[in-house]
Amino acid sequence: MQASLRIHRGGLMTAHTRAARPACVRPYVLRPQAAAGVAVDVPPQTLQYGKELDSAKAAVRLASKLCQIVQRQLSAEERADKKDDSPVTVADYGAQVLVAWSLQRSDPSCRLSMVAEEDSAELRRPAGRSMLERITQLVNSVLAEAEPGLGPAALTPEEVLELIDLGGSPGGPTGRHWVLDPIDGTRGFVGMRQYSVCLGMLQDGEVVLGVLGCPNLPQGPVGEEHGLAGAAQAAAGGADVGCLFSAHRGHGAYAAPLWAEAGAESETRIRVDDVEEPAGARFMESVESRHSSHSTTAAMARELGVVLPPLRMDSQVKYGLLSRGCASIFMRFPPPTYKEKIWDHAAGFVIVEEAGGRVTDAAGTRLDFSAGRFLKLDRGIIAAPPALHARLVAAAAKVAAA
Ligand SMILES: Nc1ncnc2c1ncn2[C@@H]1O[C@H](COP(=O)(O)O)[C@@H](O)[C@H]1OP(=O)(O)O
Ligand SMILES: [Mg+2]
Ligand SMILES: [Mg+2]
Ligand SMILES: [Mg+2]
């Protein structure tokens, strides 16, 4: 226990005195190891950010475990409403703590720069004390299971607060910044539907790594029932539920079982379904119409000639499904006053691009993650394989002009 605390504190203290992080130039070899009888489609290759990718996957797996435990025992007092009326649960905070802890431990010599959704303000108030204690207990129980050497009380409540606040980086166009949404789709999480743990890495303004942990997502075909009753389907689905999507810029996108032992997972290379004809395309959108206008996407579908009904899913699982060809289009049209955050798209963006798709705003401009914590967007987001994407951007212009 003490050793882990010293590493953590040492890492934080050293970091305050260090200048910009040196670029990582260590070559690293990805070693896919097939589970018995499972073919893998990943050639050994040298990855510039291979060590960081492994750390990101381990962090997302750890956080996903905490989320799964909490969703199974979710109760009303473990949920608070934020000023923007979106919910936050002990799992949002706990997942942010575990990702920060895990990434910081994998590189204790530099202070982590992380752009993450949650901050500790509510938990530092007297009214937040019991929630803080519950988060600390949860985080420690997941750590004790994953790392028995740490003992039962690896982190104190004060350390939990410090780890949450590592997520307060402004991001920006230079250097390295991790980008985290500890639970994307908290409404889906609370509603026992889909959600995802989303971690990206920005290097000099470009998203170079992305990992999505999707605890309730089946590894096989996905239908509407998985969007609306994801947790129940997951509980019934056993070992075939739980997906980990990942991508390294320039090296493709991959899917793996989420709950595989580290080093034993079988990764499969994934590609978008490059359908060109709208009649064969299925589009995805939010379950929540207050997050994305269902009437705008319906108008887009009519304009383009999409005939299949939408597949409604919470969170960035939609980017994962697009990347593995389960649907061909993802559209998101939030209310005009809503400002999109980089953590809601960074991981999914690089995974879709590496799977051969395009992710832009409604005017066709590629998303830019270099401008701080927010994205500047024209109307909304359109993600699809290239041919269909071009037609969608044209349709968006017509719908806007109508
Ligand atoms: N009022 C809102 N309008 C649009 N998006 C919102 C709003 N409130 C929260 N969100 C965010 O929308 C995303 C979920 O979209 P979807 O409906 O497709 O799952 C999440 O990032 C969610 O944040 P959070 O990360 O807190 O869940
Ligand atoms: Mg939120
Ligand atoms: Mg989110
Ligand atoms: Mg969130």
Q: How far is the CA of 88 from the centre of ligand 4 (A)?
A: 8
| pLDDT score recorded for residue 77 | 57
What amino acid is encoded at 182 in this protein? Answer: P
| pLDDT score recorded for residue 75 | 61
ipTM of the complex: 0.95
| pLDDT score recorded for residue 85 | 65
Rg of the chain on CA atoms, in Å: 20
The predicted model scores a pTM of 0.88
Concatenated DSSP letters for 186-203? HHHHHTTS--EEEEEEEE
Q: How far is the CA of 140 from the centre of ligand 4 (A)?
A: 21
Domains of the chain: 2-270 (3.30.540.10), 278-401 (3.40.190.80)
Residue nearest to atom 18 of ligand 1 (CA): 286
- The residues placing their C-beta within 5 Å of ligand 2, an ion, are 86, 186
Q: Can you tell me which residue has the tokens 């890495």? A: 201
Query: What b/e readout covers 269-290, taking b as 16+ CB neighbours within 10 angstroms?
Result: bbebbebeebeebbbbbbbeee
**Catalytic residue check, 54:** no
Whether the Cβ atoms of residue 44 and residue 31 lie closer than 8 Å to each other: yes
Residue nearest to atom 10 of ligand 1 (CA): 291
Q: Ligand 1 pocket test: pick from 67, 81, 86, 192 the residue with the most ligand atoms within 8 Å of its Cβ.
A: 86
Question: Can you tell me the distance from the alpha carbon of 330 to that of 353, in angstroms, rounded to the nearest whole number?
Answer: 13
Write down the catalytic residue from 89, 186, 296, 360. Answer: 186
| pLDDT score recorded for residue 83 | 64
User: End-to-end alpha-carbon separation of the chain, Å?
Assistant: 63
Neighbours of 298 (CB within 10 A): 16
**Catalytic residue check, 274:** no
pLDDT string in tens for the chain (402-residue length): 322 322 222 222 222 222 232 222 222 222 232 322 233 444 445 899 999 999 999 999 999 999 999 998 876 556 666 666 677 899 999 999 999 999 999 999 989 999 999 999 999 999 999 999 999 999 999 999 999 998 888 999 999 999 999 999 999 999 999 999 999 999 999 999 999 999 999 999 999 999 999 999 999 989 888 887 777 777 776 778 999 999 999 999 999 999 987 666 689 999 999 898 999 899 999 999 999 999 999 999 999 999 999 999 999 999 999 999 999 999 999 999 999 999 999 999 999 999 999 999 999 999 999 999 999 999 999 999 999 999 999 999 999 998
| pLDDT score recorded for residue 78 | 64
Closest CA to 104 of 201, 12, 6: 12
Confirm or deny that 78 is annotated as ligand binding. Answer: no
Residue nearest to atom 2 of ligand 1 (CA): 291
Q: How far is the CA of 339 from the centre of ligand 1 (A)?
A: 10
The residues near 59 (Cβ < 8 Å, ≥ 6 apart) are: 98, 99, 102, 103, 106, 199, 211
